[in-house]
Amino acid sequence: MPVRGIRGAISIEEDQPELILEATRELLEAILQANPSLTPDEIASITFTLTPDLRSVHPALAARQMGWGQVPLLCGLEIAVPDSLPKVLRVLIHWNTDLSQSDIRHMYLRRAITLRPDLVSSN
């Protein structure tokens, strides 16, 4: 079975744990809604990254709170590129699925829609 990647990102207003966890849940729920056949049992792993201005909590905690305790989760720091969009959480979900890559729906929410307008318009 192939492994497909689901990308997503969401902006967060302030570096506060509850805002990061809320945004993480919002993003993951939007990905689930856009990809209705996705289940946690089919997820090989998830990588979260945060821009350097967000560091008060690991976003993986939100996934665990959603019941994804058996999914391998990793959090990391996004590289600090000058003039890039600040306060952004990104996710890459590795999904074991027979769907084609063109059938995967990616989610970019809030100000993060500017990161990949080509993918937002196809959702």
Residues with a catalytic annotation lie at 7, 64, 75, 78, 90, 108, 116
Return d(Cα 48, Cα 46) in angstroms, integer: 7
Return d(Cα 109, Cα 26) in angstroms, integer: 9
Return d(Cα 1, Cα 25) in angstroms, integer: 27
Sheet containing 3-11: which strands, arranged edge to edge? Answer: 73-77, 43-50, 88-96, 3-11, 107-109
Q: Which helix (H) or strand (E) holds 18?
A: helix 17-34
